[in-house]
Structure 1
Protein backbone atom coordinates (compact mmCIF):
# COMPACT_ATOMS: atom_id res chain seq x y z
CA UNK A 1 0.00 0.00 0.00
CA UNK A 2 2.87 2.38 0.72
CA UNK A 3 4.39 1.71 -2.69
CA UNK A 4 1.04 2.32 -4.36
CA UNK A 5 0.67 5.59 -2.49
CA UNK A 6 4.15 6.74 -3.46
CA UNK A 7 3.48 5.91 -7.09
CA UNK A 8 0.34 8.04 -6.98
CA UNK A 9 2.35 10.92 -5.53
CA UNK A 10 4.89 10.64 -8.34
CA UNK A 11 2.25 10.58 -11.04
CA UNK A 12 0.21 13.50 -9.73
CA UNK A 13 3.05 15.68 -8.50
CA UNK A 14 3.36 19.09 -10.11
CA UNK A 15 7.01 18.65 -11.08
CA UNK A 16 6.52 15.35 -12.92
CA UNK A 17 7.24 14.99 -16.60
CA UNK A 18 4.53 15.94 -19.03
CA UNK A 19 2.35 12.93 -19.64
CA UNK A 20 -0.31 12.88 -22.29
CA UNK A 21 -3.91 11.97 -21.54
CA UNK A 22 -3.66 8.35 -22.77
CA UNK A 23 -0.58 7.59 -20.66
CA UNK A 24 -2.12 9.16 -17.55
CA UNK A 25 -5.33 7.17 -18.08
CA UNK A 26 -3.36 3.93 -18.49
CA UNK A 27 -1.34 4.60 -15.32
CA UNK A 28 -4.45 5.46 -13.32
CA UNK A 29 -6.17 2.32 -14.59
CA UNK A 30 -3.13 0.21 -13.60
CA UNK A 31 -3.07 1.77 -10.13
CA UNK A 32 -6.77 1.11 -9.72
CA UNK A 33 -6.33 -2.56 -10.70
CA UNK A 34 -3.49 -2.94 -8.19
CA UNK A 35 -5.61 -1.32 -5.49
CA UNK A 36 -8.59 -3.58 -6.24
CA UNK A 37 -6.34 -6.65 -6.15
CA UNK A 38 -4.82 -5.59 -2.83
CA UNK A 39 -8.19 -4.90 -1.22
CA UNK A 40 -9.56 -8.21 -2.47
CA UNK A 41 -6.59 -10.04 -0.91
CA UNK A 42 -6.95 -8.04 2.30
CA UNK A 43 -10.61 -9.03 2.55
CA UNK A 44 -9.79 -12.70 1.94
CA UNK A 45 -7.02 -12.62 4.53
CA UNK A 46 -9.29 -10.86 7.01
CA UNK A 47 -12.11 -13.36 6.51
CA UNK A 48 -9.72 -16.24 7.19
CA UNK A 49 -7.86 -14.71 10.10
CA UNK A 50 -10.58 -12.73 11.83
CA UNK A 51 -12.33 -15.60 13.69
CA UNK A 52 -9.01 -17.04 14.84
CA UNK A 53 -7.71 -13.71 16.09
CA UNK A 54 -11.02 -12.94 17.80
CA UNK A 55 -10.72 -16.22 19.71
CA UNK A 56 -7.08 -15.38 20.50
CA UNK A 57 -7.94 -11.95 21.95
CA UNK A 58 -10.76 -13.42 24.05
CA UNK A 59 -8.49 -16.16 25.40
CA UNK A 60 -5.70 -13.67 26.19
CA UNK A 61 -8.16 -11.40 27.96
CA UNK A 62 -9.49 -14.28 30.05
CA UNK A 63 -5.94 -15.42 30.81
CA UNK A 64 -5.07 -11.91 32.00
CA UNK A 65 -8.19 -11.69 34.16
CA UNK A 66 -7.48 -15.03 35.83
CA UNK A 67 -3.84 -14.09 36.35
CA UNK A 68 -4.80 -10.77 37.94
CA UNK A 69 -7.27 -12.57 40.21
CA UNK A 70 -4.62 -15.11 41.19
CA UNK A 71 -2.15 -12.29 41.87
CA UNK A 72 -4.56 -10.69 44.34
CA UNK A 73 -5.62 -13.93 46.01
CA UNK A 74 -2.23 -15.55 46.73
CA UNK A 75 -0.20 -14.79 49.86
CA UNK A 76 3.14 -16.33 48.91
CA UNK A 77 5.70 -13.73 47.71
CA UNK A 78 7.36 -16.13 45.26
CA UNK A 79 4.01 -17.08 43.76
CA UNK A 80 3.05 -13.39 43.46
CA UNK A 81 6.31 -12.65 41.65
CA UNK A 82 5.78 -15.50 39.18
CA UNK A 83 2.17 -14.55 38.50
CA UNK A 84 3.11 -10.86 38.11
CA UNK A 85 5.81 -11.82 35.59
CA UNK A 86 3.33 -13.99 33.71
CA UNK A 87 0.81 -11.14 33.75
CA UNK A 88 3.34 -8.63 32.39
CA UNK A 89 4.31 -10.95 29.54
CA UNK A 90 0.65 -11.59 28.72
CA UNK A 91 -0.09 -7.86 28.59
CA UNK A 92 2.99 -7.34 26.40
CA UNK A 93 1.88 -10.07 24.01
CA UNK A 94 -1.60 -8.58 23.65
CA UNK A 95 -0.15 -5.07 23.30
CA UNK A 96 2.15 -6.14 20.45
CA UNK A 97 -0.76 -7.72 18.60
CA UNK A 98 -2.85 -4.56 18.95
CA UNK A 99 0.07 -2.29 18.01
CA UNK A 100 0.79 -4.10 14.74
CA UNK A 101 -2.90 -4.39 13.92
CA UNK A 102 -3.21 -0.63 14.27
CA UNK A 103 -0.21 -0.12 11.94
CA UNK A 104 -1.82 -2.28 9.27
CA UNK A 105 -5.11 -0.41 9.61
CA UNK A 106 -3.36 2.96 9.28
CA UNK A 107 -1.54 1.87 6.12
CA UNK A 108 -4.77 0.65 4.55
CA UNK A 109 -6.55 3.90 5.38
CA UNK A 110 -3.66 6.01 4.09
CA UNK A 111 -3.78 4.06 0.83
CA UNK A 112 -7.53 4.47 0.53
CA UNK A 113 -7.44 8.22 1.18
CA UNK A 114 -4.26 8.97 -0.77
CA UNK A 115 -6.16 9.46 -4.01
CA UNK A 116 -8.39 12.10 -2.48
CA UNK A 117 -5.60 13.98 -0.73
CA UNK A 118 -3.62 14.23 -3.96
CA UNK A 119 -6.51 15.92 -5.74
CA UNK A 120 -6.73 18.83 -3.25
Structure 2
Protein backbone atom coordinates (compact mmCIF):
# COMPACT_ATOMS: atom_id res chain seq x y z
CA UNK A 1 0.00 0.00 0.00
CA UNK A 2 1.31 3.39 -0.94
CA UNK A 3 1.65 5.95 1.85
CA UNK A 4 0.07 9.36 1.37
CA UNK A 5 2.29 12.20 0.22
CA UNK A 6 3.49 14.41 3.02
CA UNK A 7 3.59 18.15 2.72
CA UNK A 8 3.71 21.32 4.75
CA UNK A 9 3.05 25.02 4.33
CA UNK A 10 5.79 27.62 4.39
CA UNK A 11 4.69 31.06 5.48
CA UNK A 12 7.12 33.16 3.45
CA UNK A 13 6.07 36.54 4.68
CA UNK A 14 7.94 38.60 2.09
CA UNK A 15 6.04 36.90 -0.72
CA UNK A 16 2.83 36.92 1.30
CA UNK A 17 3.03 40.71 1.82
CA UNK A 18 3.33 41.18 -1.94
CA UNK A 19 0.19 39.12 -2.49
CA UNK A 20 -2.05 40.46 0.31
CA UNK A 21 -0.39 43.83 1.20
CA UNK A 22 1.59 44.54 4.33
CA UNK A 23 -1.52 45.96 6.03
CA UNK A 24 -3.13 42.49 6.09
CA UNK A 25 0.04 40.42 6.55
CA UNK A 26 -0.39 39.68 10.27
CA UNK A 27 -4.06 38.78 9.83
CA UNK A 28 -3.45 36.48 6.85
CA UNK A 29 -0.48 34.67 8.44
CA UNK A 30 -2.60 34.11 11.57
CA UNK A 31 -5.39 32.64 9.43
CA UNK A 32 -2.92 30.34 7.68
CA UNK A 33 -1.66 29.11 11.06
CA UNK A 34 -5.24 28.38 12.22
CA UNK A 35 -6.19 26.58 9.01
CA UNK A 36 -3.03 24.46 9.03
CA UNK A 37 -3.52 23.45 12.64
CA UNK A 38 -7.13 22.47 11.97
CA UNK A 39 -6.00 20.37 8.99
CA UNK A 40 -2.98 18.89 10.85
CA UNK A 41 -0.61 20.36 8.27
CA UNK A 42 2.88 21.33 9.49
CA UNK A 43 3.96 24.97 9.10
CA UNK A 44 7.40 26.43 8.44
CA UNK A 45 7.77 29.98 9.83
CA UNK A 46 10.11 31.69 7.38
CA UNK A 47 11.49 34.93 5.96
CA UNK A 48 14.02 36.98 7.85
CA UNK A 49 13.56 35.39 11.28
CA UNK A 50 16.39 36.82 13.44
CA UNK A 51 18.09 38.04 10.24
CA UNK A 52 19.88 41.03 11.86
CA UNK A 53 21.17 38.74 14.61
CA UNK A 54 22.42 36.11 12.15
CA UNK A 55 24.13 38.68 9.92
CA UNK A 56 25.21 41.43 12.33
CA UNK A 57 25.20 39.82 15.79
CA UNK A 58 22.48 42.14 17.16
CA UNK A 59 18.74 41.39 16.87
CA UNK A 60 16.08 44.06 16.58
CA UNK A 61 13.28 44.12 19.17
CA UNK A 62 10.80 43.24 16.41
CA UNK A 63 12.88 40.18 15.48
CA UNK A 64 12.62 38.83 19.02
CA UNK A 65 8.82 39.13 19.01
CA UNK A 66 8.71 37.65 15.52
CA UNK A 67 10.82 34.68 16.60
CA UNK A 68 8.47 34.08 19.55
CA UNK A 69 5.54 33.74 17.12
CA UNK A 70 7.46 30.87 15.53
CA UNK A 71 6.26 28.79 18.49
CA UNK A 72 2.99 28.36 16.59
CA UNK A 73 4.80 26.53 13.76
CA UNK A 74 6.51 23.15 13.58
CA UNK A 75 9.67 24.63 12.09
CA UNK A 76 11.40 28.01 12.01
CA UNK A 77 13.73 28.80 9.14
CA UNK A 78 16.83 30.91 9.70
CA UNK A 79 18.93 32.41 6.93
CA UNK A 80 22.68 31.95 7.10
CA UNK A 81 24.99 34.60 8.43
CA UNK A 82 28.24 35.14 10.29
CA UNK A 83 26.46 34.85 13.66
CA UNK A 84 24.16 31.91 12.82
CA UNK A 85 25.16 29.87 15.90
CA UNK A 86 24.17 32.76 18.16
CA UNK A 87 20.89 33.06 16.22
CA UNK A 88 20.15 29.33 16.66
CA UNK A 89 20.90 29.51 20.40
CA UNK A 90 18.75 32.62 20.80
CA UNK A 91 15.86 31.08 18.84
CA UNK A 92 16.07 27.89 20.92
CA UNK A 93 15.90 29.90 24.15
CA UNK A 94 12.94 31.95 22.96
CA UNK A 95 10.98 28.92 21.74
CA UNK A 96 11.69 26.90 24.90
CA UNK A 97 10.38 29.75 27.06
CA UNK A 98 7.33 30.29 24.84
CA UNK A 99 6.29 26.60 25.07
CA UNK A 100 5.12 27.09 28.64
CA UNK A 101 2.77 29.89 27.54
CA UNK A 102 1.13 28.36 24.50
CA UNK A 103 1.25 25.17 22.48
CA UNK A 104 0.61 26.22 18.89
CA UNK A 105 -2.90 27.71 18.84
CA UNK A 106 -4.10 25.92 22.00
CA UNK A 107 -4.35 27.60 25.36
CA UNK A 108 -2.94 25.65 28.27
CA UNK A 109 -6.05 24.71 30.27
CA UNK A 110 -6.42 23.12 33.67
CA UNK A 111 -7.77 19.58 34.18
CA UNK A 112 -11.55 19.24 34.22
CA UNK A 113 -13.16 17.52 37.19
CA UNK A 114 -16.35 16.21 35.58
CA UNK A 115 -16.13 12.75 37.15
CA UNK A 116 -16.33 14.31 40.61
CA UNK A 117 -19.36 16.40 39.55
CA UNK A 118 -21.25 13.36 38.24
CA UNK A 119 -20.44 11.32 41.35
CA UNK A 120 -21.92 13.96 43.67
CA UNK A 121 -25.16 14.25 41.67
CA UNK A 122 -26.01 10.57 41.07
- Point out the structure with the larger strand share: 2
User: Is TM-score (shorter-chain normalized) higher than 0.5?
Assistant: no
Scaled by the length of structure 1, what TM-score is found? Answer: 0.31
User: Whose relative contact order is higher, 1 or 2, with alpha carbons under 8 Å and at least 6 apart?
Assistant: 1
Scaled by the length of structure 2, what TM-score is found? Answer: 0.30
- Point out the structure with the larger helix share: 1
